[in-house]
Amino acid sequence: MTSRKKSDELFHRASVKIPGAVNSPVRAWKAVGAAPIFIESGSGATITDSDGNIFLDYVCSYGPAILGHAHPRVIQAIAEQARLGLGFGAPTRLEVELAELISSAIECAQKVRLVSSGTEAGLTALRLARAATGRPNIIKFDGCYHGHSDSMLVRAGSGAMTLGQPDSGGVPSAVAAMTMVARYNSIETVEGLFRAAPEKIAAVIVEPVAANMGVVIPDPGSLKALAEIAHANGALLICDEVISGFRLCFGSVAESMGIAPDLIMLGKIIGGGMPVGAVAGPARIMDLLAPVGPVYQAGTLSGNPLSVRAGLETLRILKESNLYSALDAAGARLQAGLRDALKKTGQPGCVNRAGSLLTMFLGPERVRDADEARTSNSVSFAKFFHAMLASGINIPPSQFEAMFLSTAHANADIDRTIAAASDSLHALTTGKS
């Protein structure tokens, strides 16, 4: 990296006017102990910072950029749409088309409500579950993230995990008390919570492939068991597919594993890089929403034409070209190379992967839940992050975020990443950096 002069200047200006200099905590690079770079532009698999440095990017906007940055067809669609007006506070044809497309790809998605973020999708899903069951409590898993609504900021993974704060300030204890926390991949802890509060639990909410404590894969059969326990106890199963939806297959990864969720949350990819979220489910639950039913939910920019058009174009490209086997092959190539690099350099660690989502944990030999993720070596991770950055590779600045691959990542990019990782891990072993 040649210089960080402009990024540093921007960081100082930002620090004066923006809390922590960022509009979302992980961007502040706190876990890796440095001031972040500011980004000017992105194209395909690369981003360019304000000093003109170019990086191969594995953040990919934390998921939406599955086609790489500034995909020409998506940009053209947005540009065309922008000329037609940015939103009308009235329904549009595009919203119908996106709802139909989502519904055609996800069996349980009989009806779809669009919102502007995954957070909103989460709070709407919980409100619906509480209305449908008449019950107050929710079971979530330690390390899963469902947006920053009050009741979901308990053991929330990701940003909260990175900052080492299990819970957020400003959440009344009475609200937090309605959220019960189970251990990922532990059906016993879920059973225990149902026993402790029978007939009080409205829903179990889960990331069917967890990606906010680093990537953590569900044990075979564990989601099926979860659905059964929830239903046996009169509770709903909410699958949060804000990351996994349309990333691991064209639709829902839970459904691809044979699970039938009662509600699905979507976001990220379905907005093609623009702000979006969605809740989807059977008509009997979704029609509880206003204006049909008693559950209020609204949004000035919900279903806005730019987000919807960008999402439609992205989903159409994904569907036409069936890009999922290529994404999976790219993920497998990276995983194999990183595993090999760990082995060759003698660094302890493991590489968890689902399709084009991947995390290399430094330290633990396996990670099946948040406690195991927390045994990672954060000092080694920070050094590894900076060594990668110096090689021109931008990975997420936290051990607890997934690396995201896009269809723009070529084999040569992946091989360059593996070589850089190998050198960076070697420098950890020898203490040089």
Ligand X SMILES: *Cc1c(COP(=O)(O)O)cnc(C)c1O
Q: What are the residues binding ligand X (CB under 6 A)?
A: 117-119, 122, 145-147, 207, 212, 240, 242-243, 267, 277
**153 or 351: whose CB is closer to ligand X?**
153
Contact 255, 265 (CB under 8 A): no
Query: In angstroms, what is the minimal distance from the CB of 128 to ligand X?
Result: 16
Locate tokens 């990919």: which residue? Answer: 60
Residue with tokens 């992946």: 414
Residue 145 is a catalytic residue: yes
Instruction: Give the nearer residue to ligand X in terms of CB position, either 234 or 275.
Output: 275
User: Which residues 6+ apart lie within 8 Å of 88 measured at CB?
Assistant: 305
Residues counted in the chain: 433
- For ligand X, the closer CB: 244 or 345: 244
Helices (H) and strands (E) in the chain, counts: 15, 14
Helix axes 72-83, 305-321, angle to 10 degrees: 150
**Three-class SS state of 178:** coil
Dist. CA 191–CA 91, nearest whole Å? 43
Nearer Cβ to ligand X (257/418): 257
Smallest distance from the beta carbon of 212 to ligand X, in angstroms?
6
Cis peptide before 348 (omega within 30 of 0): no
Q: Look at strands 54-57 and 46-49 and give their pairing.
A: antiparallel
Measure the N-to-C terminal CA separation of the chain; round to a whole number of Å. 14
240 is catalytic: yes
Tokens 């050198």 belong to residue: 423
Closest to ligand X by CB, 270 vs 342, is 270
In the bound complex, what is the minimum distance in angstroms from residue 67's beta carbon to ligand X?
18
- Residue 64 near residue 53, CB atoms below 8 Å: no
Beta bridge partners, 112, equal 280
State the Cα–Cα distance between residues 256 and 369, nearest whole angstrom. Answer: 22
From the list 262, 268, 324, 369, the catalytic residue is 268
Bridging pattern class, strands 46-49 and 39-43: antiparallel
Q: At its nearest, how many Å lie between ligand X and the CB of residue 157?
A: 9
CB of 337 to ligand X, least distance (A): 25
Quote the CA–CA distance of 411 and 141 in Å, as a whole number: 35
78: its two tokens = 């947005």
Shortest distance, CB of residue 245 to ligand X, whole angstroms?
9
Q: Quick check: 338 and 419 in contact, CB under 8 A?
A: no
Q: Which residue is nearest to ligand X (CB)?
A: 118
Measure the CA–CA gap between 301 and 319, rounded to whole angstroms: 26
Least separation in angstroms between residue 8's CB and ligand X is 27
Closest CB to ligand X among residues 267, 303: 267
**Residue from 30, 49, 111, 145 carrying the catalytic annotation:** 145
Judged by CB, which is closer to ligand X: 216, or 389?
216
Q: Which residue of the set 51, 142, 240, 369 is catalytic? A: 240
Q: Hey, what are 51's tokens?
A: 């000093």
- List the catalytic residues: 145, 240, 268
